[in-house]
A = this chain, B = another copy of it.
């Protein structure tokens, strides 16, 4: 790909940090400026070699940039877009990596001098670790990135952003923002909400049972704790910013759960058996769609919570 001259990364956590390594090490950018509010984050970004320059002011960060990547939690996107506006070249391509799209578009677009240069995006990749130390270059390998251009989005700008994500090793799809939010609500947001809930339920158990739960977590609970260790700020923002789609999917889920609850209470084995057989077929379909074969990328460095990240990836048995 033709490298960008100057890329401004607003926010330099897991996603933008990993993207920085891709741009730097694979010839995607000549110069990278990271922008972070906290001094400590800027220092780490420089130490880790994620950028050539690290600044605190969004308007200064975007000066002279031909690509701007918004990589802050969904709830901060509008604010950061407003803050960078005074320094932004109207010809610069602006993209984001947020996990919800409709709401981010609504928040960001009013602050842009030329909204047709805005390419909303979402690399569907990540780990339960966050911050610049969690970044690694292969995070997006074999993953998919969804771009959600709107009616007047410039096709050339979409092409350039797609090129960047392909450089990162990702496949690129496009869909409408509304469709994105609905699909992700069920594949990602609802699973996270459920995992957070059940881990919270355990946290409320009396101490004695709780320590036993940790001991026997391998029976299925471990997977949930990993998911529920994800970044709290980002996830709060996701739920607040994809409210309608999450509430709709949650409604469907709850209805289905209550049905099973009733079957258990009344000893209706047929209903249980019928569902449990049907879900096996879904597993096969998911494997066929290719995702379940993928190996999760393993970060080269130890993780921020002191857990060995590689060993951490072992999935537990699914038998009770």
Nearest CB of chain B from residue A234's CB, rounded to whole Å: 8
Cβ of A260 under 8 Å from chain B? yes
Given A225-B282, A239-B264, A246-B264: A127 in contact with B320 (beta carbons within 8 A) = no
Q: Is A235 an interface residue (CB 8 A)?
A: yes
A305 CB contact (under 8 Å) in B214, B220, B275, B283:
B283
Residue A294 CB within 8 A of the other chain? yes
The complex places the Cα of A187 from the Cα of B192 at a distance, in Å, of 17
Q: Given known contacts A192-B320, A225-B282, A236-B273, is B260 in contact with A257 (CB within 8 Å)?
A: no
With known contacts A187-B220, A220-B192, A320-B126, A229–B283 Cβ distance under 8 A = yes
Give the distance in Å from the alpha carbon of A209 to the alpha carbon of B287 in the complex.
17
- Given A218-B124, A296-B314, A296-B316, do A282 and B199 touch, yes or no (CB 8 Å)? yes
Residues in A28-77 with C-beta less than 8 Å from chain B: 75
Residues of B within 8 A of A201 (CB): 186, 249, 252-253, 256
A151 to B235, CA, bound (A): 49
Q: Which of A172-186 contact B (CB under 8 A)?
A: 173, 175, 179, 182-184, 186
Is A204 an interface position by the 8 A CB rule? Answer: yes
A308 closest partner in B (C-beta): B293
Residues 148-198 of A contacting B (Cβ, < 8 Å): 173, 175, 179, 182-184, 186-198
23 pairs, CB–CB < 8 Å, chain A vs chain B: A173-B215, A175-B212, A186-B198, A187-B213, A191-B198, A191-B221, A192-B320, A195-B220, A196-B260, A196-B276, A200-B278, A203-B281, A217-B286, A217-B289, A218-B294, A232-B276, A238-B320, A250-B261, A287-B306, A287-B307, A292-B311, A293-B312, A313-B314
Given pairs A188-B216, A254-B261, 19 additional interface contacts (CB within 8 A): A15-B319, A124-B320, A125-B218, A128-B318, A139-B317, A183-B213, A191-B198, A192-B318, A194-B198, A200-B256, A203-B282, A225-B286, A230-B319, A232-B272, A240-B272, A243-B267, A250-B257, A287-B312, A292-B314
